[in-house]
Amino acid sequence: MPNDIQAEVGLIGSIILHPEFAAQISWFKADYLYHNENKCLYWAVTELLKDNVENVDDFNIIKKINENQGVKGLFDELKIPSLQVLLDDYKIVARHTLEEYRMLVNRITNLAYRRKAYNTSIQFSDLCLKDTKETINELNLQFHNNMSQLAEKFIVNKEVSLIGDVIDDTWGQIESQRQSGLIGIPSKYQIINDYFTYQNGELYVVGGRAKAGKSSFFLNEAHHKLKLGLSVCLMDTEMSLRRLLPRMLALESGLAIQEIERGTYVGNETKERKVKHAIEWWKNQKFVHIYDPSWTFDKIYATAKLLKIRRDFDLNFLIFDYIKMTNANDANGEKRNYFLGSFTNFLKNNIAGELDIPVIAGAQMSPYDTRLADSDEINRYASVVSYWMLKTKDDYGKESGVMFTGNHKVVIDYNRLGKNHNKEDDERINFAFDKDRCLIEQAQYQPTLDETEEEFNPYAAQK
C-alpha cells in the first residue's frame, strides 16, 4: 500500500521538537500514518500536549502509552529496543517551520486517502460482483454514502481562521442572498416572511390533519416560486398527476377545479382561453411532480441529485409531501417514531444540506392536539415546525367574508430562523383558502398581540 516512511519520520520528529505544530493542524489523525510505531508516537505526543506536558521525551511518551491498553498492546508488539535512540533518529530529520510541517501533513494525508479509497472501492467492487437484490438507486446511494464518509474523514483544510480572514467573504454571501430586504427565498405570504424565509440547507416541516388542505398550501408555494423563476420539484406520496393537474390549472386560471375536470367551461370563450393559457404556462415551467407512494431514501436522493446536477434544471426548491412510513426497508427494525426522526434527519442533512436547497416537508398532526403525530424526533432536525389548521371558530369568516378574517390559520410551533410565534397571546396567522380554486391567500385581518378574534367585531372593523 502507498506510504512514505521518510515523511512520517519527519513529521514525528517535528512534533517532538515543536509540539505546537500538532496543535495548529489539529485535524490530522494518528490513523493517517501507515506505520504503527508512528501512529503510537503521534497519539502519545498529542495526548501529552492536551495535558500541557512541556517535556516531550521517551519517559513521558512511554508513560502516556501505558495509560491506554489498546495503544500499549500495539506498541509492545513492535519490540522497539530503545525508544530514546529512535526519537534521536527522528529528530535529525525534523522540520522547523510550520509550512514545512504542513507539507509533510498533506503528503501523508494524501497517501492515507489513497489507501482508504482503494479499500472502499474494493469493498464496493465485491458488492457489485455479487448478484444481490439491491436496485441501481440503492447501490448508488450506498456508494455515495461510503464515498461521502471517506471525503468527510479526509478534509485537510480545517485550520481555525481568524474572523478577519473570513468576514468579508461571509458578509458577501449574506449580501448576495438578499431579496427585497429578505434573506433566502420569500414565501408567497408576507406574514410568513415576518417569521422566516426559505433558506438553502434548511428543512421546513408543515404539519396538518387529514384533508385540511396541506397539499394545496404546498402547491401555492410551488406556484409562487415558479413565478419567481425558480425550479421546483414536488415529491408526492398521495396524489397522482391526474389528480393534481386540475388543481394546478385552477390555481393559474382562476376557474373552479370541478369546472375544469368536468369540462363545463367549454363553450365559454373567455374560460377556454384561461384554461389554454394555464396549460401553456405550466408547460413552460421548471416544475417536476413525481408520485410514488413508496418513496425510499435512495429514490429521494437519486431523484433530487439528478435534478440538482442537470444544467437545464438546477433544482432550487424541493417539496416532499409527506413524511411517513413509505418503505419498510428504510426502517431497519426501528420503531415508528425513531424512523420518522431518521427520515427527517435524511431530508435535512442528505437533501437540504448536501444539495444546498430549501426543503419543505409535510407531516401528520395529532387528531386531538396541536402537535405532530407519532414522533417528537421530527422536531430535533427541522429548522421550522408549523401547523396548517382549519379555524375552529370560522363564524367570523362566514359573517365578514373569508378573504377578510380567513378560514384557516398557521401556528408556528418551533422556529430557529426568526422570531417565535406568540401562541400564548393567541397571535393568529390567518389565511383564506378557496378550496374550489385551490387558492390560498393571506387574510386581510391579522390579529395583534393584544387583540384576539374572540374580541374582534368584524362589522366594526370593516366600517
pLDDT digits (tens, 9 = 90+) for 116-175: 999 988 888 888 888 888 888 788 877 877 777 777 677 554 555 566 666 777 677 666
**Which CA distances in Å does 456 have to 4, 403, 408, 463?**
78, 16, 16, 13
Are 222 and 98 part of one and the same domain? no
DSSP classification of residue 160: P
Are 86 and 180 part of one and the same domain? no
Are 316 and 354 part of one and the same domain? yes
For position 365, what pLDDT does the model report? 84
Q: Is the separation of the CB atoms in 295 and 326 below 8 Å?
A: yes
Are 320 and 402 part of one and the same domain? yes
Other beta carbons less than 10 A from residue 438's beta carbon: 24
349 assigned to some structural domain: yes
111 assigned to some structural domain: yes
Query: Distance from first CA to last CA of the chain, Å, rounded?
Result: 84
Distance of CA 397 to the CA centre of its chain: 38
Q: Is the separation of the CB atoms in 428 and 446 below 8 Å?
A: yes
Are 148 and 181 part of one and the same domain? no
In 280-367, where do the E strands start and end?
Answer: 287-291, 317-321, 359-364
> Rounded to an integer, what distance in angstroms lies between the CA atom of residue 215 and that of residue 222?
10
For position 160, what pLDDT does the model report? 53
328 assigned to some structural domain: yes
> Rounded to an integer, what distance in angstroms lies between the CA atom of residue 108 and that of residue 196?
45
Are 149 and 183 part of one and the same domain? no
123 contact partners, CB below 8 Å, separation of at least 6 = 146
Are 129 and 189 part of one and the same domain? no
Domain with 94, as residue range(s), is 5-153
> Rounded to an integer, what distance in angstroms lies between the CA atom of residue 291 and that of residue 343?
18
**pLDDT single digits (tens) 258-306:** 999 999 999 999 999 999 999 999 999 999 999 999 898 888 998 998 8
Could you tell me the three cell numbers for 59? 519517559
Beta-ladder partners of 359: 203, 318
> Rounded to an integer, what distance in angstroms lies between the CA atom of residue 119 and that of residue 78?
25
Other beta carbons less than 10 A from residue 454's beta carbon: 9
Classify 296 as helix, strand or coil: coil
Are 204 and 79 part of one and the same domain? no
168 assigned to some structural domain: no
pTM value is: 0.66
When pLDDT is averaged across residues 78-93 and rounded to a whole number, the result is: 92
Q: What's the total number of domains in the chain?
A: 2
DSSP classification of residue 264: T
Are 210 and 270 part of one and the same domain? yes
Q: Is the separation of the CB atoms in 151 and 139 below 8 Å?
A: no
Domain limit, last residue, from 138, 153, 168: 153
> Rounded to an integer, what distance in angstroms lies between the CA atom of residue 70 and that of residue 180?
59
Are 97 and 193 part of one and the same domain? no
- What CATH number should be reported for the domain holding residue 71? 1.10.860.10
Q: How confident is the model at residue 395 (pLDDT cuts 50, 70, 90)?
A: very low
Nearest CA among 105, 112, 106 for reference residue 15: 105
Read out DSSP for 386-398? EEEEE-S-THHHH
CA dihedral 389, 393, 398, 400 (to 10 degrees): -100
Q: Which residues of 90-124 are buried (b: 16+ CB within 10 A; e: fewer)?
A: beeebbeeeeebbebbebbbebbbeebeeeeeeee
170 assigned to some structural domain: no
Q: How many residues does the chain have?
A: 463
Helix, strand, coil shares of the chain, percent, nearest 5, are 55, 15, 35
> Rounded to an integer, what distance in angstroms lies between the CA atom of residue 238 and that of residue 208?
14
When pLDDT is averaged across residues 408-415 and rounded to a whole number, the result is: 90
408-415 and 384-390 strand pairing: antiparallel
374 pLDDT more than 70: no
Are 63 and 198 part of one and the same domain? no
169 assigned to some structural domain: no
120 assigned to some structural domain: yes
**pLDDT single digits (tens) 310-328:** 888 999 999 999 888 755 4
Read off the amino acid at residue 54. Answer: E
Are 66 and 207 part of one and the same domain? no
Other beta carbons less than 10 A from residue 70's beta carbon: 9
457 assigned to some structural domain: yes
Instruction: Out of 253-262, 367-376, 402-411, pick the least confident.
Output: 367-376
